[in-house]
Amino acid sequence: MAKDPALAARLVDIYQRFYSAYGPQHWWPGDGPFEVIAGAILTQSAAWTNVEMALAKMRSAGCWTLDAVHRIPEPELAQLVRSSGYFNAKARKLKAFAAHVSENYSGDLDAFLAKPAAPLREELLSIHGIGEETADDIIVYAAGKPSFVIDTYTRRIVDRLGISPNGSRPKYGDYQAMFHDNLPHETALFNEFHALWDNHAKEACAKTPRCRGCCLLDICPTGQAAN
């Protein structure tokens, strides 16, 4: 997707409206890269409150480094992360990530995350259990590099605003290109904007939208049609 000045201006307007309505979000809720990565894997198909319980159990059990995750037996790790759901699969994913860093970077997570964003993303996607959304979470929130995260909430709001990428079935990369092609590649901007999309979904644009008082109502065809 080539840069679209009108779309670029609209995205900036949306960001400013979100920021004025909700303020800074202070994402990601994690203390350092390890917690961010563990949280990004565990939050797949899970509410964050359940992820927090799993992270707390990992911490209290001393399973709080990649090396510890690499060494702990998978069934034991699965029990620690049980609250996050799909716990056996998530234990395998955590151990696959830890094994990758251990085997390819001698366990040096900082060295792995220091790679440029594009090859880092490609390598993340090669690890079992790391999909595009999780990879981008890790890049922007753990590695501190610009890669816009697309999730269910972002797609929902974009679609309701009538600015979806061309095509009847746009893919993850089509949505991401909207932001990459029309916004400055700044980590802080991508971090904050993604968090704001998610907060707006919680506050107003839920599965059943609550359009009254929405900060986007005057520019949202879906909201206009409902009022």
Q: What is the pLDDT of residues 97-150, one digit of tens each?
A: 999 999 999 999 999 999 999 999 999 999 999 999 999 999 999 999 999 999
Residues 51, 94, 154, CA angle at the centre, nearest 5°?
55
pLDDT, position 162 = 95
pLDDT at 177 over 80: yes
pLDDT at 1 over 80: no
pLDDT, position 27 = 86
Per cent of the chain over pLDDT 70 is 99
pLDDT at 214 over 80: yes
pLDDT in tens, 160-169: 999 999 777 8
pLDDT in tens, 16-54: 999 999 999 988 766 799 999 999 999 999 999 999 999
Q: Is 64 exposed, middle or buried (0-12, 13-18, 19+ CB in 10 A)?
A: middle
pLDDT, position 183 = 97
Give just the sign of the alpha carbon dihedral 166, 206, 52, 192.
Answer: positive
pLDDT, position 31 = 78
Distance, CA of 109 to chain centre = 19
pLDDT, position 29 = 64
**Span 50-71, mean pLDDT?**
97
Q: Whose CA is closest to 8, among 141, 180, 221, 151?
A: 180
Q: How many alpha carbons fall within 13 Å on the CB side of residue 210?
A: 7
pTM (2 d.p.): 0.94
Question: What mean pLDDT is reported for the chain?
Answer: 95
